Amino acid sequence: GNSVTQMEGPVTLSEEAFLTINCTYTATGYPSLFWYVQYPGEGLQLLLKATKADDKGSNKGFEATYRKETTSFHLEKGSVQVSDSAVYFCALGNSGNTPLVFGKGTRLSVIA
């Protein structure tokens, strides 16, 4: 079955540091891949997505590239801010609006 594995946190970085959160997946067919973010006290929000191999999703300075050859969708940001402190979830979805399969989440804390 489908599954998502993402690096365990927590991750603590200083402001302006480079961020990578690893995400790999196992899936049948050609899934779409997502990163969702959950800020403290708030609900899940879509951060970015990619629907096919080699697509790059980007938003708010974050990027992730859909790599079919390595079954990965790593999240990166060149310079994190304190306001990026949140829990980040990698997720996978197949076509036809089926339920998403989520990783366990990675908590990021950015300190000034």
Q: Is 34 among the residues that bind another protein (CB under 8 A)?
A: yes
> 53 in helix, strand or coil?
coil
* CA separation, residue 5 to residues 14, 15, 23 (Å): 25, 26, 6
Cβ atoms of 81 and 27 within 8 Å: the answer is no
Closer to another protein by Cβ: residue 17 or 72: 72
Region near another protein per CB under 8 A, out of 11-19, 41-49, 56-64, 76-84: 41-49
Residue number with CB closer to another protein (31 or 62): 31
**Site of tokens 């899934």:** 31
Stretch that binds another protein, among 17-25, 58-66, 67-75, 89-97 (CB under 8 A): 89-97
